[in-house]
Structure 1
Amino acid sequence: MDIATIWDAAQSRGDWAVPMPAAFLRDSNGRSVIGADGFAVRASGAPAAGLLTGADIETAVLISLFTDAAAGADDIIPDGTGDPRGWWADPTIGSKLWLLARAKRTPQNLQLAIAYIRQSLGWLTTDGVASAIDVAAEWQAGGRLAGQIVVAHAAGSTSVPFDYAWKDLA
């Protein structure tokens, strides 16, 4: 069973979604147990427990983008700590977007961000999950890097929007 990860751009946070079998979409009084946000709720209005399955491509993209890949020996660590981050078991998993957290929003850094995104998703084509990946990104108001990733795969294509909060210097 796969776990679906979701990204809430408005809140700048990731989460896991909640599954509800069709039989549980209404409570004993016939009221919907799916809240306005699309998530399951208890009768009290509190979020229900559980994880949504499916959305495999979206989950893979979000984990790849928002997990920190380890910095290389020639990368400059933006917080000055020298901590290369990354996962000890496989430092190549994730993206290096975090290295640009304090970079200026320039056309050159936009291209570097797109390159980091493509690099973080490269495993999808290498492993045969996807036949092609298309990345479009732009600077948006409020210090955000936002865009769309389209993953072509055997079942068609999956479009995944992304939004990354930017703490630029200027």
Structure 2
Amino acid sequence: MASKKAPAPEKGAPKIDIGIGEKDRRRIADGLSHFLADSYTLYLKTHNFHWNVTGPMFNTLHGMFMTQYTEEWTALDEIAERIRALGFNAPGSYAEFVKLSSIREESAAGTLGWQDMVRQLVAGNEAVCRTARKVLKTADGAGDDPTVDLATQRLQVHEKNAWMLRSLLE
């Protein structure tokens, strides 16, 4: 009696089969790419303002900005890794981020007063919230609970940051 030969393993990586179709994964990854670009741009802006803030609020804002940009930096990896887990490449260049981000970069931070910096960071955090909500809806419709969870956690952070910054201007 001849024994059956085991099938040869497929070459390359196995096809992604996580219960979310490729079309939905692509839409979610696209939304996450915009979310990553907004998050990275906000990180850069916050770090820039940390370096360049002056005036009577220097000590308070220097520390607050450092806390925020440090937390934002850590989150960037989580967003990019989620894109990769869905089977797509994460954007990772300034050129890509500029194209994808809804937040305008700030090149003249040294000319801004602390209040303008705070206003821009309020607007930046709110922009990240809007982008997070979009990807959250897309992910929820596709049954992508890990992305929904990630977006929900990020919303909590950025809504709180916007509130704390906004309160400085009241």
TM range (shorter): under 0.3
TM-score (norm 1): 0.26
Instruction: Select the structure that is richer in strand.
Output: 1
TM-score (norm 2): 0.26
Instruction: Select the structure that is richer in helix.
Output: 2
